[in-house]
Amino acid sequence: MCQICTIAVIGGLGLSRWLEVDDTISGIWIGALIVSLVYWTLSFLQKRKLYFWGRDFFVSIIYFASVIIPLYFGEIIGHKLNRLWGIDKFIVGLSVGSLIFIIAIAIYRLVKIKNHGRAHFPFEKVLIPIISLCFSSFLFYLITR
């Protein structure tokens, strides 16, 4: 995971909060940011040859909990009127954004392998996840408006 991807995700999150968009869309970008941070941390631990049982699971849980718990106690998550499909809108967005970001990274890796280990164009690694997140944000905008 590259730093440019993470900065782009942070920019998208800041823009969504500034525009006062729905919590589902904000959750999409926060979920992507968390996944990006998890990838960075796991890469850091791997470079330092720090391995322990359940490493990937525990790093992921720590990052997700560090976001969800404060928002729950700050009463941003859990409001009965802020639901989509019976689930809190922020949690729906967080889950979708995380999944979309993971899938976009997998798609980039597959595309790169098929092109003999090279990107098709500069910043392809950035554009695939960002375009995927923008598309899912637009889709949830249409669902929640």
- pLDDT at position 68: 83
Per-residue pLDDT at 96: 92
Exposed, middle or buried, 58 (CB in 10 Å: 0-12/13-18/19+)?
Answer: exposed
Alpha-carbon distance 142 to 81, whole Å?
19
pLDDT for res 113: 79
Domain positions in the chain are: 3-144
Residue-level pLDDT, tens digit, the chain, 145 residues: 555 655 665 566 567 667 777 888 888 888 988 898 898 889 888 898 888 898 899 999 988 888 888 777 776 777 777 777 878 888 888 999 999 999 988 888 888 877 777 776 777 777 888 888 899 989 988 888 7
Return the pLDDT at 103: 92
Cβ atoms of 32 and 101 closer than 8 Å? yes
